């Protein structure tokens, strides 16, 4: 099982640590079910760090690492595949609860569903999926929707 480290700052009264753990366990099982072994092997006995924060902090990270000076919903940071395996570290996920709340409202969905979608999306990035190309996006978003449909 993956080791999940959770950091919530500043103190955000939105979801309990237990909610994040139980949601991630469900997503983890689904990722292992729907991903090929070549991808899911990175999940096994790895560590993932999740930071749940506000727009100010995610904007600072977005500016520093992506050179985009605005808040975003989610960021993911990973090592290259060899280091991921050797160090058993899947990567880091940062979620802005403020942006997630706004996006959920705009989409007309629950905050729970939006947060789970962000966790799935970021995990897929950490596992090497992307949506830069049309083909890559089709594969990634298809997996994302399949997993989201099963966990929500």
Q: Residue 13: its pLDDT value, please? A: 67
Query: What is the model's pLDDT at position 9?
Result: 80
Q: Are 24 and 112 in contact (CB under 8 A)?
A: no
Neighbours of 48 (CB within 10 A): 23
Q: Mean pLDDT throughout 144-152?
A: 92
Q: How wide is the angle at C-alpha 100 spanned by C-alphas 108 and 75, nearest 5°? A: 140
**Hey, what domains does the chain have and what are their CATH numbers?**
3-151 (3.40.390.30)
Q: How far apart are CA 108 and CA 95, in angstroms?
A: 19
Distance of alpha carbon 4 from alpha carbon 46, whole angstroms: 9
Question: Over the chain, what is the mean pLDDT?
Answer: 89
Indicate whether 119 pLDDT > 90.
yes
């Amino acid at each position: 099982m993956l080791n999940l480290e959770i950091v919530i700052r500043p103190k955000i009264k939105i979801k309990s640590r237990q909610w994040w753990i139980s949601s991630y366990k469900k997503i983890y099982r689904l990722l292992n079910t729907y991903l090929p072994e070549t991808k899911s092997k990175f999940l096994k006995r790895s560590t993932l760090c999740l930071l749940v924060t506000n727009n100010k902090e995610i904007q600072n990270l977005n500016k520093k690492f992506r050179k985009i000076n605005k808040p975003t919903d989610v960021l993911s940071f990973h090592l290259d595949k060899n280091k991921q395996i050797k160090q058993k570290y899947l990567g880091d996920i940062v979620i802005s609860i403020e942006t997630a709340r706004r996006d959920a409202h705009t989409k007309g969905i629950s905050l729970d569903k939006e947060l789970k979608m962000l966790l799935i999306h970021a995990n897929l990035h950490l596992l090497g999926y992307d949506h830069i190309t049309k083909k890559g996006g089709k594969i990634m978003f298809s997996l994302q929707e399949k997993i989201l449909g099963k966990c929500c």
